[in-house]
Amino acid sequence: MTLDDAIKQIQLTIKASSSGTEVKVVKISDEEARISVYAPAENMQAIKDATFQPVMDMLMQGLDVQVFVYDKDNPLAKG
């Protein structure tokens, strides 16, 4: 699996867990990415739960994909 494949998989998982999310991706290296997710507060835990195991599996394959979930209605989150 490439980093791009991993990012796409996580993005699909996020979209399946919550509609109305905004996703921003930053590639840090060929093996590492940070995904910031801005979601409704009531969907934050569902996204965390849905992405936890896939991210752990990716880590075991040498890909460090970090998912950070923020409340999209909290102006401090976009700081």
- Identify the CATH number of the domain in which residue 57 sits: 3.30.300.20
* 3-state secondary structure (DSSP) of residue 9: helix
Which pLDDT belongs to residue 75?
A: 62
Average pLDDT value for residue range 55-79: 87
43-62, pLDDT tens digit by residue? 999 999 999 999 999 999 99
pTM above 0.75, yes or no: yes
- What is the torsional sign of CA 52, 54, 65, 59? positive
Q: How many domains does the chain have?
A: 1
16-53, pLDDT tens digit by residue? 999 889 999 999 999 999 999 999 999 999 999 999 99
Domain that holds residue 74: 3-78
